[in-house]
Amino acid sequence: MGKKRPHWHEDALAAVRALRKDGVISHPTDTVWGLAADATSTTGVQRIFDIKQRATSETLLMLVDSEQALEQLLPNLPEAAWELLEVSDRPVT
């Protein structure tokens, strides 16, 4: 008999499928519910702006899993940001 999956397994798979199709998902944070889209999906990001009724000139939070992903998404990141990452021994927000 196989290992039993956690109760949220199917929900997580559905969220991944939605993100891969330019969708938006809601997810809990430590204080509020957040909205998420694939940062590389122009359609998904625009949907967040539309849902929040936020001007595209305003900012959104973006999470990345590595410095390589950060460099790929933001190739013109200021040198000061790279220096901060270099000296930090913890994740940086």
Cβ proximity of 65 and 42 under 8 Å = no
How many Å apart are CA 12 and CA 18, to the nearest integer? 10
> What's the rounded Cα separation, in Å, for the pair 49 and 60?
9
pLDDT grade, residue 1 (50/70/90)?
Answer: low
Map out the domains of the chain as residue ranges: 1-62, 64-93
pLDDT tens, 39-88?
999 999 999 999 999 999 999 998 888 889 999 999 999 999 999 999 99
Provide the phi-psi class of 22: left if phi over 0, else alpha when psi is between -120 and 50, else beta.
left
Whether residue 2 has pLDDT greater than 80: no
> Would you put residue 53 in left (φ > 0), alpha (ψ -120 to 50) or beta?
left
